[in-house]
Structure 1
Amino acid sequence: MTEPTGSAAARLLARCALLAAVGTLVVLLLALTEGGLLIVAAELLGLIVCAVGVWWFLAHRGAARLVGALVAVAAPAAVVLLYIHDGLWRTALVLGLCWGATLAFGHAALRDSLPKRSHRAAAARRPKRPVLIMNPKSGGGKVGRFGLVERAERLGAQVILLDPAVQSDVAELARRAVAEGADLLGVAGGDGTQALVAAVAAEHDLPFLVVSAGTRNHFAMDLGLDRADPSRCLDALTDGEEIRVDLGDVDGRAFVNTVSFGVYADIVQRPEYRDAKTGTALTLMPDLLTGEDVRWTEARLDGAAISPQQALLISNNPYASPDGLSGGDRRPRLDTGELGVLGIRVEDAAQAADLAVRGSQSMGLTVTTAQYVEVTSSEAAEIPVAVDGESLRMPTPIVCSLRPAALRVLLPRDRPDNAAPVPPVTLRRLIDLAFNRPARAPRGGRHRA
């Protein structure tokens, strides 16, 4: 991870964050006789009770689920009512504002201190026979909405437009394009389609163009591409630069983002998931978390076994923080040669509360990196796997690894989001930045057996 390097503006913001943190502590100390400790205790208890309610909502059905939902909503409401009843709301408000200012100034300081992404870019030749595969359904019709076919053809690219009514083998289409002389392959579509064509490009050592026409576009986001306007990705055809990134491999199949095992992989297997994601997940969660269908994912990281997990996510390079499952987190680099590993094991309400309170330090969370991950199952010879969001079944053991620097990616020089992602705000980072101390190397991954 890229650490803060320091600048005058960033140091000032970091000092403001530290002052706000000191202000939070001062207000708390001054309010000790006026219920300051009660405020902290009420917030902590409210968080724990809310987490227990969420667990009951996810892990049960019927009346128990309804009770869980009510508890999850009632806990924070009860905390607010307590503040009002005991006249603590002003103190709580000031504490909240001070802490909010700490986080806001801290995030701004770290953001301003970060350099551009450190992938080494090389000058790229303009391709003579680029071939782009476009999925008109992807991202709710972004291909048509942004006129990607017309713009790509004006820039000299051949476009292969997929027929939504026909199941297409995009990898075979890419191989055929290479056989006919293509000197660049690209995709306007989702991450699953990106990975299939990227594998062909890597196999033939051809540059690969990512057009952010999918729904979430995780790979495009981590490359710094414009996800709001995918047509800007096509600028790379005339004014581009090239970087090399790692390509994930799960039993010979490429992936650009993540491979998931356990709860999420089981849910996306269901045919009804595509049309009713939330409803399908809520219907299946009780059985997958505590019922008859609970499936423990067994894995070995670089040969060392970890405890069975309910959900295991393997990423092509590690995410900046343990929030990779949320979809909002990002990978600082795509060329470290390491897999990111995130495992979750929560068996009851007490462990759910521990996860809510302790976050990344919870015993229910495994966060580490590895060169390869072997997933096995003592219950089935074949298990569900979600590869870049695509639902598959694979025979065990399943090995995830990386092909270091295997993929040449062609990028436009002008990318709107080319800064490294902001790391989590911590006191250590703020102090280092505020006083211009040399940035300390980030701690290694955490591995719990």
Structure 2
Amino acid sequence: MTEATDRRRPRRLARIALVCAVAAVVVLAFTGPRGLLVLLAELVGLAVTAVGVWWVITRRGLPRLAGAVLAVGAPVAVVVLAYDAEVALLAAVAVVLWLAGLACGRAALRAARPPRPMPVRETPPPRRPVLIMNPKSGGGKVERFDLVRRAEELGARVVLLDPAAPQDVTELARRAVAEGADLLGVAGGDGTQALVAAVAAEHDLPFLVVSAGTRNHFAMDLGLDRADPATCLDALRDGVELAVDLGRVGDRTFVNTVSFGAYAQIVQSPGYRDAKTATALDALPDLLQGEAGPALTARADDRRIDAPQALLVSNNPYAAPDPADLGRRPSLDGGVLGVLGVRVDDAAQAAELALRGERAAGLTLLSARRVTVQADVPEIPVAVDGEALTLPTPVVCTLLPRALRVRVPRDRPGADPDRQARAHRLDWRDITRLALDRAPAAGGRP
């Protein structure tokens, strides 16, 4: 492909995306009043569903039951209306065109702003690696994937945590360093990963992540195989190093996120681990209506966030704006914190959030190098990589740029930058700029 053709490709893809999007609208218009009625019903149904969900999480008793009926009944009613209006075929064509437009739009943005893979560094294999493994993590993945035997066959010494006796993971890591370890690793959850990562960074040792936790967010963003954690051990014999950022909250390190507000309050409950949904539903009405929990104020660099009900600070920004599904972080070495704040006071604002997404007034999306959280009490609950803590206010979050040397297998299934880019948000304003032969806005998101 010539350089000129390469430059034209984003523009062509953007124009195809716009044509598909317009065609989808035209097809809907051909359905006549019935099709437009269905489209309107879909928008109303989305808003009604959001209102129903809002009642479910902020009410108890009959109002909660009514909210559940709305949340389930609204989309069912839209489907029934589309069937009765006899526009199902044209609606399907419109959906296909719209999806084609989305695919071309994402491809255009990827071509215009090629994703930057994290640089890797060649280093010799470790001679005295030490891996700390939690046998309970991930529902018993350490035993299920025979990780202890496999690690020892590759020359690692394994420290197996005792589920019956709580142990100081940080102290175990420090002891391993004192005994001559030249690599520290963890097979466990992200909270345990963060504790050992702090020791590795302090001593400038490589750190190995084994995706044996439940969700493995850190492993996912490193491109590691979450389905088979044993493949992470390949880094012991044939690996490369990444230099990634480490988050700091107070004197604690985090690899993923720090949460304040509603979620941080809920994870403090003794019953949360065994009954997460029931515990959340019991606590959310009081938390979201301001009848429980401290009043928070945050400052992200020079931006102020007033009274967020939930605030999430991440080690590098996540790609998606949806508070329920953040997606993944395209980069772990960008040197900035991601900040997501949510403030929804009533059903109307919940509906706005459903309809407008990241542009809703109740959603704040920022990036910053320093985040300070103040409260009307001397201590507040904080969830650090999912672990429940209580920290004195003000709570300060910062980032240590490229402070952690992470040793990863040379071949990682999620390391393809194009695959990472597919998780990014699509902004139709950038698509339009590309189609008009203009550069996407600075800082635009793929």
TM-score by length of 2: 0.91
Counterpart position of 2:333: 335
Tell me the C-alpha RMSD between the 2 structures: 2.5
Asked whether the equivalents of residues 318 and 326 of structure 2 are also in contact (C-alpha less than 8 Å), the reply is no
* CA distance, structure 2, for counterparts of residue 302 and residue 14 of structure 1: 35
Counterpart position of 1:20: 20
Go from structure 1 to structure 2 and tell me whether the alpha carbon gap of 1:416 and 1:441 turns closer, same or farther (over 3 Å shift). same
2:413 is the counterpart of 1:416? yes
Counterpart position of 2:394: 397
Question: Residues 154-169 of structure 1: matches in 2 within 5 Å?
Answer: 154-169=153-168
Q: Cα distance, 1:376 vs. partner?
A: 1.1
Alignment partner of 1:363: what SS?
coil
* CA distance, structure 2, for counterparts of residue 67 and residue 250 of structure 1: 41
Go from structure 1 to structure 2 and tell me whether the alpha carbon gap of 1:431 and 1:292 turns closer, same or farther (over 3 Å shift). closer
Counterpart position of 1:447: none
* CA distance, structure 2, for counterparts of residue 96 and residue 119 of structure 1: 36
Alignment partner of 2:372: what SS?
strand
Alignment-mate amino acid for residue 350 of structure 1? A
Residue-by-residue CA offset, 1:69-110 (whole Å, 9 max, x unaligned): 111112122223333344444443333333234335545676
Go from structure 1 to structure 2 and tell me whether the alpha carbon gap of 1:124 and 1:397 turns closer, same or farther (over 3 Å shift). same
Asked whether the equivalents of residues 233 and 409 of structure 2 are also in contact (C-alpha less than 8 Å), the reply is yes
Asked whether the equivalents of residues 131 and 158 of structure 1 are also in contact (C-alpha less than 8 Å), the reply is yes
Alignment-mate amino acid for residue 235 of structure 2? A
Counterpart position of 2:274: 275
Counterpart position of 1:381: 378
* CA distance, structure 1, for counterparts of residue 165 and residue 112 of structure 2: 49
Residue-by-residue CA offset, 1:378-434 (whole Å, 9 max, x unaligned): 1x2111100000011111111000111111111111111102322223335556777
* CA distance, structure 2, for counterparts of residue 85 and residue 276 of structure 1: 41
2:226 is the counterpart of 1:218? no
* CA distance, structure 2, for counterparts of residue 296 and residue 356 of structure 1: 25
* CA distance, structure 2, for counterparts of residue 318 and residue 37 of structure 1: 38
2:298 is the counterpart of 1:293? no
Q: Cα distance, 1:151 vs. partner?
A: 1.1
* CA distance, structure 2, for counterparts of residue 403 and residue 34 of structure 1: 57
Residue-by-residue CA offset, 1:296-332 (whole Å, 9 max, x unaligned): 3211122543211000000001111213x43451111
Go from structure 1 to structure 2 and tell me whether the alpha carbon gap of 1:95 and 1:294 turns closer, same or farther (over 3 Å shift). farther
Alignment-mate amino acid for residue 333 of structure 1? S
Alignment partner of 1:350: what SS?
helix
Residue-by-residue CA offset, 1:142-192 (whole Å, 9 max, x unaligned): 111111111111111111111111101010000001111111111011000
Asked whether the equivalents of residues 6 and 433 of structure 1 are also in contact (C-alpha less than 8 Å), the reply is no
Alignment partner of 1:424: what SS?
coil
Residue-by-residue CA offset, 1:339-398 (whole Å, 9 max, x unaligned): 1000000010011011011100000000001111111111x2111100000011111111
2:324 is the counterpart of 1:326? yes
Asked whether the equivalents of residues 250 and 395 of structure 2 are also in contact (C-alpha less than 8 Å), the reply is yes
2:345 is the counterpart of 1:347? yes
Residue-by-residue CA offset, 1:184-237 (whole Å, 9 max, x unaligned): 111011000000000000111111111111010000111111111111111111
Q: Cα distance, 1:435 vs. partner?
A: 8.8
Asked whether the equivalents of residues 246 and 255 of structure 2 are also in contact (C-alpha less than 8 Å), the reply is yes
Alignment partner of 2:340: what SS?
strand
Go from structure 1 to structure 2 and tell me whether the alpha carbon gap of 1:432 and 1:188 turns closer, same or farther (over 3 Å shift). farther
Asked whether the equivalents of residues 319 and 326 of structure 2 are also in contact (C-alpha less than 8 Å), the reply is no
Go from structure 1 to structure 2 and tell me whether the alpha carbon gap of 1:117 and 1:228 turns closer, same or farther (over 3 Å shift). farther
* CA distance, structure 1, for counterparts of residue 145 and residue 8 of structure 2: 41
* CA distance, structure 1, for counterparts of residue 428 and residue 364 of structure 2: 23
Alignment-mate amino acid for residue 28 of structure 2? L
Counterpart position of 1:356: 354
Which sections of structure 2, spanning at least 5 residues, go unmatched? none
* CA distance, structure 1, for counterparts of residue 60 and residue 284 of structure 2: 9
* CA distance, structure 2, for counterparts of residue 113 and residue 6 of structure 1: 9
Counterpart position of 2:188: 189
Asked whether the equivalents of residues 80 and 89 of structure 1 are also in contact (C-alpha less than 8 Å), the reply is no
Which sections of structure 1, spanning at least 5 residues, go unmatched? 445-449
* CA distance, structure 2, for counterparts of residue 62 and residue 250 of structure 1: 38
Q: Cα distance, 1:19 vs. partner?
A: 4.0
Alignment partner of 1:326: what SS?
coil
Counterpart position of 1:123: 122
Higher mean C-alpha deviation, range 186-195 or range 80-89: 80-89
Counterpart position of 2:443: 442
Asked whether the equivalents of residues 116 and 419 of structure 1 are also in contact (C-alpha less than 8 Å), the reply is no
Asked whether the equivalents of residues 58 and 282 of structure 1 are also in contact (C-alpha less than 8 Å), the reply is yes
Alignment-mate amino acid for residue 146 of structure 2? G
Alignment partner of 1:260: what SS?
strand
Question: Residues 45-124 of structure 1: matches in 2 within 5 Å?
Answer: 45-104=44-103, 106=105, 117-124=116-123
Asked whether the equivalents of residues 6 and 113 of structure 1 are also in contact (C-alpha less than 8 Å), the reply is no
Counterpart position of 2:150: 151
Q: Percent identity?
A: 61
Alignment-mate amino acid for residue 277 of structure 1? K
Residue-by-residue CA offset, 1:2-24 (whole Å, 9 max, x unaligned): xxx96999888766544432320
Asked whether the equivalents of residues 17 and 100 of structure 2 are also in contact (C-alpha less than 8 Å), the reply is yes
TM-score by length of 1: 0.90
Asked whether the equivalents of residues 288 and 295 of structure 1 are also in contact (C-alpha less than 8 Å), the reply is no
Asked whether the equivalents of residues 115 and 419 of structure 1 are also in contact (C-alpha less than 8 Å), the reply is no
Asked whether the equivalents of residues 116 and 418 of structure 1 are also in contact (C-alpha less than 8 Å), the reply is no
Alignment-mate amino acid for residue 188 of structure 1? A
Alignment-mate amino acid for residue 147 of structure 2? L
